[in-house]
Structure 1
Amino acid sequence: MNKRFWTLIMIPFLLFYAIPAGAVEKEDRKWQDESIYFLMVDRFNNGDLKNDFQVDVKDQMAYHGGDFQGVIDKLDYIKDMGFTAVWLGAIFDNEENGYHGKWVQDYYKTEEQFGTIEEFKELVKQAHNRNLKVLIDFELNHVGPNHQWLSESDRQDWFSGQQADLPVLNQENPEVRGYLIDAAKWWIDETNIDGYYLDNISVAEESFMKEFSEAVKEQKENFYLLGSDETNDSEAIAHYQTIGVDGLLDYPLAESTRPIFKKVDHSLSELITYKKEQMTKYKDPYLMASMLDNDQMVRFTHDAVTNNQHPGPRWKLALTYLYTTPGIPVVFYGTEIALEGAGGEKSHGQMDFRTDKELIEYITKLGELRSAYPSLTRGTLELLGEDKEIVVYKREYEGETSVIAINNSSESKNITIKNELLEENKELRGLISDDLVKSSDEGYVLFLDREEAEVYVLADQSGINIPFVIATIIVYGAFITFIFLLWRRAKKKRANEK
């Protein structure tokens, strides 16, 4: 009886939970589905005091003690925020005080301040155990200013000049090309990393870039190459996707969107129009890296603070945009605590894990939505409406429609989306603040509080689920009947015993 009792009790709940949630089932994971957390090892987290050889936290130009163990210790922190990949700035052995990793001394060693190659392998292993992909910087163009090759007579033709006080590698030299490609392949084989970041590829020789790209991708399937060209020229940037670089840091996007989001009451008109225009220029816009700042830029927080704005709301709106438009969002460490920085080493502040969690929770929510709804990573992009400081757009993918609304005004506002732009007799279910908007004769009337955003999914109108109600009545009716029959049988048995 006990077994039958619980079986009958559970049937309605099983029927309820079998109702589909509305999100399209995620297909095989692609790079465009990723969201990347970018950190500088030295400034992130000190997990091993034994490798603090030259640490001086009071000197912004010196090592601060961050290391591989520190990253390992915080992988769950990164994972829990919804990130699916972690990008470590340069980790190769560097010259003294090369905390930033730009002064390469040895391509086959890790920086001793960060830890050993074995510790880095463990980092990659632990990341993969958490389903996190790992990228690292690979410097193609320069070595450190005092590199030993400079004093070796048989390597004088390994260099072609100077740039930013760093020796430029001569990539037309077959020996240099071979060395760099062999080193890149070695790191893939040795550590099982998933991608490289190639800085300032406009300096690189084009035929070498093609050769390098082909070689590393032959080494590991689905290996991702992320590059940067700081010219802010969309057409120049687009060219690199044709020679093997999968995606690039979208500097033009950052340049256009930072002024919009750094201040409240700035118009959002043309925000989506500009994005769609940029998308037409790239071979694969979904593999471009969307960001607002990085280790070589003034932090976006600084822009907000300079304009006497609270950085929290500024970041929330900007991140909503990055996470819900085509491209891979790249978030620089410290964004989640609104870390300040006026550029250069001033933007390389120490991470602080003992801060307010509000922005962290918001990023976590965006990460959850991006993972749950393929329309946010693979969908088309269409503007639905705009009115100065408010914009609404949709993403569609295989029958799933998400709608994003952003209000950059200091006042609460509403905007009406006509029924013909969405389906009639549906409803928009808010995924951030649980808002619910049903279609009407006017259309869909969206109301947003000041400096807020919402991500909706288009779904059938909610109401009484008649089939579910009927099933519940039948099940509980059968259960009551069953109990009644048992009671009658027991009563009859007791009467016979007398």
Structure 2
Amino acid sequence: MRRLISHVLPILLVVMLFCPAPVRAAPAQAQTTVSGNTANFKPDVIYQVLLDRFFDGNPANNDPPEARGLYDGSHKNWRLYWGGDLAGLTQKLSYLADMGITALWISPPVENIHRLTDHNEAGYHGYWARDFYRIDPHVGTWDDFATLVRTAHSKGIKVILDFAPNHTSPRETAEQGSLYRDGAFQAAYNNDPQNWFHHLPAIMDYNDPYQNVYYSLFNLADLAQENNGVDSYLKGAIAKFLQYGIDGIRLDAAKHLSEPGGGWSRTLSDAVNANAPHYLVGEWLMSGIDDPTYPAAASFANHSGINLLNFPLTTALRNVYGAGKNATELDAVLTREGRDLLWLNDQAVSIDNHDMPRFLSLNGSHDRLHQALAVTMTLPGIPIIYYGTEQYLHNDTDGGGDPYSRPMMTNFDTTTTAYREIKLLAQLRHSNPALAYGSYQQRWLNNDVFIFERHFNQNVIVVAVNKSATPYTISNMQTRLPDGTYRDYLGSLLHGGTSLTVTNGAVSSFLLGANQVSIWQASADKGPAIGSVSPNLSRPGGQVVIDGQGFGSTPGTVKFGASNATVKSWSAQSITVTVPQVTSGLQMVQVCTSTCSNGYPTRVSTGPQTAVTFTVRNAPPTNPGDNVYLTGQFDELGNWDVKAAIGPLHTPKYPDWFVLAGVPACQKIELKFVIVRANGSVQWEKDPNHTYTTPCNGTGSFTVNWQN
């Protein structure tokens, strides 16, 4: 997401198998390949790159003829292009691969505005699109994009496209939000006869769901996804990028696209995964688990097929290791999210990004940075490293916020402690599935010390971090590690090297030194055990990939509830199946060979999805705290369960209420509107049910009067 005015706002692997003493032997050679599964990113380490600020691989495109005067080669004007491009990133892929990076999140490469705003700012960041069907000339060409994807894949690196369908560019300056399709004009905020944009004020209350979706974010021209032309345009643009083999999508400003139940965003994820399984993750900015929008964000992650950038966990990491707050905050966030999120390991976590001050601007201690990185790389979720973190890159001007959080990458040193730390922990993520698929359990905790355990099947990892300058004696600690003595996986890299001795699940007392980070692990392949079913929203006839361990080489059976799935491919760690015809909703997936695995939940839609605006007019009078909901006979509408119904609906024109919902396409659906009163009582519409046949393509609308 990008504000209008920027100032505002050798590979090692430790396999710890059981043996009593002595201390474990030195690490062995690690795997060097990554999974080809484009939907399961759980074992991966993502590296976020702002293309313009990484590396200039082709100086000839710095000041292209179609957009002259937006480039500053001196790198003094932070609001202009500085020369980084697709060619430059491609040239540095070996540097990233050697660090253990297995996924690359690139800023939007689409063509941005060709003019400066009235604040003399260019779209160097990529979030002010003018043409989603072209590559911005400052960063390269479609051939450059194809070369990046192809080269990244050859090095075992997946590519995530940053896609920003919420808006175009500033609506009252520069190009007034103009939108083109491969050069052909479509609409502008000040020239919009087909209503491609919402013409409403700027968001004032970010806790108001209606304002979040329909008002303007930072005065950017807000696209109307419910408009059939906009829907077709955006999904066509995604389809073009999919043809180039991208592996995932980061959905910018997902909070501002996200109706209850997923809305249009759910139809986008359905369209993407109809092509092939992909990983999708959305930006839902919030302060923490106490944020008023947190429940809606959790529901979005559980229903839309789009995971979240885990901002509550980012906030906790910055608070604990950047601002010196109690380590108990991390455990509190993870405990709450463990209850609320169906797929915690699919959410992505980082310590900073392009929209906030870098960690070292918050706290300049390298020790604190190393501690925060270690926890980020080992907690539940997919770790993201913001470009240059491994080089201690930061600029503290005005506190280091946007745009100063976006310096030019200057060093590519492979010997820094942070680079070596990331490399070691990336190897651990790929060698021990406890990090990718494991549960979380806090093992020892006070204000300074955070010790936790990850467990999957017979794989265990224990992580200990002391952010204090004072050593702590750790006693009375339990673990799932088998009996034996374990060498610190990180050695002395982060003030560690302490061995751990386990007897009958009890850890012998040990000293955790000042600023020490230590990791101990055990690994065993005993299965079958499912760690991932991806994507987490599919439909009958679509493909999903099941990852884990112990599946064996001889195909067995895969069940969705009581129904057998058709197996497309089978290996000891990954199975691809076709989703059977099952009832929509959550299904438990199970792999059976000589024995059966754990059950793993996945959500199955009724079929292809379409976005429909449902409106009920003249609803009965409501009081503050009363809300209207929509329900019907499919999982998408809650299966007539008021607790799972779509809502609350919006009422900008009371007593009319509406919502944009993702529903089965080309289906006759039955539905009703209900009022849930502040006291918990429920008022249903009278019979009969409303009926509506949803469109087979594009978007739709359905309006009725409340049935008294």
- 1:32 matched residue in structure 2: 42
Aligned equivalent of 2:256, options 177, 197, 203? 203
Residue 43 of structure 2 contacts residue 382 of structure 2 at CA under 8 Å; is this kept in 1?
Answer: yes
Pair 1:329 & 2:383 matched: yes
8 Å Cα contact 1:159/1:169 also seen in 2: yes
Q: Does 1:348 align with 2:403?
A: no
- 2:354 aligned residue: 295
What's the TM-score, normalizing by structure 1? 0.81
Query: Pick from 73, 76, 84: which aligns with 2:102?
Result: 84
C-alpha distance in structure 2 between counterparts of 1:175 and 1:455, whole Å? 53
Deviations 1:21-69 (CA, angstroms, capped at 9, x unpaired)? 7999998863211110001000000111111114212211000000011
Give CA deviations for 1:387-421 in whole Å, capped at 9, x if unaligned.
43112211111212111111111122231244x54
* 1:260 aligned partner: 320
1:144 counterpart (149, 157, 169): 169
Q: Which residue of 2 aligns with 1:125?
A: 150
Q: Distance in 1 between matches of 2:472 and 2:190?
A: 68
- Code of the residue aligned with 2:92 in structure 1: it is K
Matched-pair contact (CA < 8 Å) for 1:426–1:458: no
Match of residue 48 from structure 1 = 58
Distance 1:337 1:423, change over 3 A: closer
Question: Aligned-pair distance for 1:422?
Answer: 3.9
Report the residue type matching 2:424 in the other structure.
K
Q: 2:237 aligns with which of 154, 169, 183?
A: 183
**Partner in structure 2 of residue 135 of structure 1:** 160
Shift in CA distance, 231/386, structure 1 to aligned 2, threshold 3 Å: closer
Aligned-partner Cα distance in 2 for 1:22–1:347: 37
TM-score of the pair, normalised by structure 2: 0.58
- Could you tell me which of 263, 273, 276 is aligned with 1:217? 273
Residue type at the aligned position of 1:35:
V
User: 1:494 maps to what in 2?
Assistant: none
Question: Aligned pair 1:399/2:458, yes or no?
Answer: yes
Match of 1:443 among 482, 497, 507: 507
1:226 aligns with 2:281: yes
Q: Larger % of helix: which?
A: 1
Which residue does the alignment assign to 1:70?
Answer: 88
Partners of 1:227 and 1:245 within 8 A in 2: no
C-alpha spacing 1:136/1:335, structure 2 compared with 1 (3 Å): same
User: Is 1:315 aligned with 2:369?
Assistant: yes
Rounded Cα–Cα distance in structure 2 between residues aligned with 1:421 and 1:187: 46
Deviations 1:142-165 (A, max 9, x none): 112314321785645111024312
CA contact (8 A) 2:322 2:362 kept: yes
| Alignment partner, residue 300 of structure 2 | 240
Equivalent residue letter for 1:378: Y
Residues 151/282 of structure 1: CA separation in 2 closer, same or farther (3 Å cut): closer
Change in Cα spacing, 1:22 to 1:106, as seen in structure 2 (3 Å) is closer
SS in 2 for 1:159: coil
* 1:443 partner letter: V
User: Which of structure 1's runs of 4+ aligned residues deviate more than 3 A?
Assistant: 19-29, 151-156, 420-425, 439-443
Q: Is the 8 A contact 2:328 2:446 kept in 1?
A: yes
The answer (yes or no) to whether the contact 2:54–2:408 under 8 Å persists in 1 is yes
Would you say 1:114 and 2:139 are equivalent positions? yes
Q: Per-residue CA shift, 1:143-192, capped at 9, x if unaligned?
A: 12314321785645111024312110111211111111111112101x11
Please list every run of 5 or more consecutive structure 2 residues that lacks an aligned counterpart in the other structure: 1-25, 64-69, 115-121, 179-186, 200-215, 492-496, 525-708
Mean CA deviation greater in 421-430 or 130-139:
421-430
Q: CA deviation at 1:301?
A: 1.1
Q: Is the 8 A contact 2:500 2:520 kept in 1?
A: no
Q: How does 1:457-468 map to 2 (within 5 A)?
A: 457-458=521-522
- Percent identity among equivalent residues? 28
| Other-structure match for 2:195 | 157
Whether 2:441 is the aligned partner of 1:382: answer yes
User: Given the superposition, is the C-alpha separation of residues 66 and 22 from structure 1 closer, same or farther in structure 2, using an over 3 Å criterion?
Assistant: closer
Q: Which residue of 2 aligns with 1:285?
A: 344
Q: How does 1:7-18 map to 2 (within 5 A)?
A: none
1:287 is displaced (CA, Å) by 0.6
- The whole-number CA distance in structure 2 between the counterparts of 1:134 and 1:260 is 31
Larger radius of gyration: 1
In structure 2, the partner of 1:61 is: 79
Tell me the SS of whatever aligns to 2:464.
strand
Q: 1:444 to 1:186 in 2, by over 3 A?
A: same
**In the aligned structure 2, how far is the partner of 1:117 from the partner of 1:136?**
14
- Give the letter for the 2:156 counterpart: N
Which residue number in structure 1 is paired with residue 417 of structure 2? 358
Aligned to 2:516: 452
| Bigger RCO (CA 8 Å, 6+ sep) | 1
Q: Deviation per CA, 1:335-382, whole angstroms, max 9, x where unpaired?
A: 112222411111111111155722211111111111211111111111
CA distance in 2 between counterparts of 1:39 and 1:126 reads 16
Counterparts in 2 of 1:125 and 1:157: CA distance versus 1, 3 Å:
same
Question: For residue 249 of structure 1, what is the amino acid of its counterpart?
Answer: L
RMSD: 2.7
Q: Comparing both structures, which one devotes a greater share of its residues to strand?
A: 2
- In structure 2, the CA distance between the partners of 1:48 and 1:303, relative to structure 1 (3 Å rule), is same
Counterpart residue type for residue 250 of structure 1:
N
- Conserved 8 A contact 2:165-2:234: yes
Contact 2:485 2:500 in 1 (8 A): yes
Tell me if the contact between 1:22 and 1:459 (Cα under 8 Å) persists in the aligned partners: no
Point out where structure 1 has 5 or more consecutive residues left out of the alignment. 1-18, 461-498
The structure-2 alpha-carbon separation of the partners of 1:335 and 1:49, relative to structure 1 and needing over 3 Å to count, comes to same
- The Cα shift of 1:260 comes to 0.8
Counterparts of 1:169 and 1:28, CA distance in 2: 34
Matched residue, 2:488: 430
Task: Give runs of aligned pairs for residues 269-280 of structure 1, distance below 5 A.
Answer: 269-280=328-339
- Match in the other structure for 2:647: none
The Cα shift of 1:246 comes to 3.0
Q: Residues of 2 paired with 1:55 and 1:454: CA distance?
A: 46
| Cα separation, 2, equivalents of 1:423 and 1:217 | 38
